[in-house]
A and B are shown apart, each in its own frame.
Chain A
Amino acid sequence: MNTPTARPRRFPFRRVVILPVAALLALALCKEPRLLADDPAVSLVSAVPGTFMGFSQPSPLTFTFAGPVRSVTVTGQGAISCSGDQGTLTGYDSAGHAIGSVSLHLIDPADCSPEDNPDNVTFGATATLVTTGVMAKAILSPMSLLEFPVFDLVGHASQDYTVELGVGTAPPATLSVTCDASVTRGNDVKCTASVDPRQPFVVTERHAAGAGYSFTSAERIESDGAPYEWSGKAVLDTHVSITVAVTQNGAETPLAPGTADFTVIARTGPEWTGLKIQSTAPAPEYVSGAPLADNPFPTVGSLLAPDGATGKYQQTITYRWGTVGGGPNTNLVYTRAPATVEASRIFIHAWLLSDSRFYKAQRGNSNPILGQRDCNGADIDRLRNNVIAHETLHYSEDKKFFDTHDVQAALEAAHAPFHVSQLGQPGSDDALKAARDAASDAAFGTAWKAVAETAVDTGHPVDTPSCRAAKP
């Protein structure tokens, strides 16, 4: 940085006090800004309202720069009190954010009260502000004492500032990524990428990974230097990695990726535990259509029926799923709110009732002499009771499962991948259902099916009477 070539001289205060204010102001306003620059790449664009400050012009001075200015020195010349603050120089980046500040100090404190003239007045104050980021402007606030006693007179402050600019040394840019340390599932988690020193950058890649989960986005997001925030619903413990490149004059310089982690806390409370099946078995509902086959006995002459044609047990859970559309857990389905269970139902085919035409058509002799006998009402009664017993066993195993497993808590943590960009596109509905099924199956459905469905069907099949059924 260049330095002034001539040693500053003390400015006799008497000249200050005797100069008319108007003359001083005119002097200041007529002067071109005085600039010393160590690099042609930087320049002082303007000084508003000028370079003079003091009793007659107490407003702050705003210096606007061009180029990569990282160093500013202001040096005052005039007369000021040695007491009080001499003003503050603050630098701002192109977005208007303050990036550095320094107080002015007296250039020659020994000049304040020499033995031959103890007037507590000196000629000037100075300061050098160095920032890591580029300054677009700097503002100099006024000295605190614009008017001050000098022996038995009154002195008025006056400073005409020389501005020296420098490009300084650009420190290496570094990327730091932070995330909320822990977040309750379903709440927003925020991860922040910051470049230091502050400067324009572009996010070039975001990656998040957790157990069975991975998301990568190469979408480019530009920043004027403000920290980039990546936020969205939190679902599972996640490791986050963000890559950026700093941008200057159209060129991009990639930085080392920044990483951070966050932990997801399960939601707790009475609503998030203890999903239960009703305590008493549901009464059979007799139907002849959905959810059963209309004709339960397609094999003519036999009471053999396809699985579930004569009876079904139905359990209904109302899930409340959410989908994460942004943030570091993008593309996940999860349980947004507690699930509820509806009343269980047992459906029995109405043809098994004694007043049905099918039932009445079974008029066989219960004591055949030879061969397979024809079915009679007692056979249908037995089949009906067996079907009811079978479906009730599904219910009791279902209830037992829910009594011994905290399904609600398992659902609280349930999640599965789903690409939200599919929503509204062909096939998305099926894909979303598949994701939800995968989440609930992993939480409890697969285990439930083994116990409440498969084990009952294989261990306790419906005992079907062996007789020849008549057509209704």
Chain B
Amino acid sequence: MTSRSHSLMVGVAATIALLGGSTPARAEGAGNGPAAECRQAANRLRAYDQSAVNSGGHAAQGNGKAEERQIAAARLLTCGEMGGEEAATTLSATRFLTDPGALEELVGPFRYFRDAAVFGAAMDVADDRTASVPARVLALRTLWVLRSGKIWIAYEQMLPADEATVAIPTGRCGAGIRLSDATPYWIDGALPPADFASQILALAERIRADASQPLIVRAAATCALRR
């Protein structure tokens, strides 16, 4: 496995130990795996995403296209740097979409892809005042998950809490939710900067403290500041 190969985090290790199974086969990276499959996944993703962006988020529904796209995205998570670049392209290209459901479908699969390009794109969209509010919220969700491994956080949990005010823009951030098997999880791509967590915190704090930003974005930023 190359230095860019992905590794499976604590969740996998725990499960393997729990089940007493043998060491699983490691997922292929772009360097030594079937690169053709990664390219095929990338092509499928691009085609679907381009159609989705052109139609304002409402890509071809039915006939399995969405599921194909989802499988392609899942495949790209195992494609190392190449997968990260494809994911980053999607994050950037969808920044003007306003439908949270469509955005979730498009960028959600990459929220736990701890990759340098994904990190950079999420930082860029989160800080982009011209991007749509839902896109910024989901970018902040991605940043939070990249830091924390909390893959279970849904879009709604990034919205302002009932108690949120302009002075204190608290987000829901999953308050009150107890999930079974809530083990932090992420998949590594190309390594992000060593200080990526600090960069996320600095950006989130800047957005949180900026009263000129939309309250929804600021509330999402408070989540990104959480552990």
Binding site for B on A (CB under 8 A): 288-295, 298-302, 304-309, 311-319, 356-358, 391, 394, 423-424, 426-430, 432-434, 436, 445, 448-449, 452-453, 456-458, 461-462, 464, 466, 471-472
Contacts and interface: CB of A to CB of B under 8 A. Distances in A.
A391 B182 CA distance: 12
Interface stretch (B49-57, B62-70, B127-135, B191-199): B62-70
A306 B186 CA distance: 10
Contacts of B74: 294-295
Nearest to B226: A430
A357 B154 CA distance: 24
Interface stretch (B88-96, B101-109, B115-123): B101-109
Given A289-B109, A466-B21, A307 B152 contact: no
Contacts of A299: 8, 12, 24-27
Nearest to A391: B180
Given A288-B70, A308-B11, A316 B24 contact: no
Contacts of B6: 298
A312 B181 contact: yes
B185 interface: yes
6 contacts: A290-B108, A293-B112, A299-B24, A306-B14, A307-B15, A456-B180
A305 B75 CA distance: 15
A247 to B, nearest CB: 36
Contact of A306 (B15, B26, B68, B225): B15
Contacts of A433: 173, 175, 226
A423 B180 contact: no
Nearest to B113: A294
A359 B25 CA distance: 20
Contacts of A458: 18
Interface in B169-227: 170-171, 173, 175-183, 185, 187, 205, 208-209, 222, 225-227
B70 A457 contact: no
B36 interface: no
A267 to B, nearest CB: 20
Contacts of A391: 180
Contact of A315 (B37, B64, B175, B177): B177
A241 B178 CA distance: 40
Contacts of A462: 19
Most A CB contacts (10 A, CB to CB) among B8, B15, B21, B170 go to B15
Contact of A472 (B14, B71, B182): B71
A287 to B, nearest CB: 10
A433 B74 CA distance: 32
B177 A308 contact: no
Contacts of B19: 304, 461-462, 464
A472 B6 CA distance: 20
Given A357-B64, A429-B171, A430-B227, A316 B177 contact: yes
A426 B227 CA distance: 13
A445 B77 CA distance: 34
A310 B155 CA distance: 20
Contact of A426 (B15, B70, B209): B209
Contact of A423 (B24, B168, B177): B168
Most A CB contacts (10 A, CB to CB) among B74, B75, B180 go to B180
Nearest to B205: A426
Contacts of A426: 205, 208-209, 225
A339 to B, nearest CB: 8
Nearest to B25: A301
Most B CB contacts (10 A, CB to CB) among A391, A430, A462 go to A430
B28 A298 contact: no
Contacts of A292: 151-152
Contacts of A304: 12, 15-16, 19, 21, 24
B44 to A, nearest CB: 12
Nearest to B222: A429
Interface string B30-47: 000000010000000000
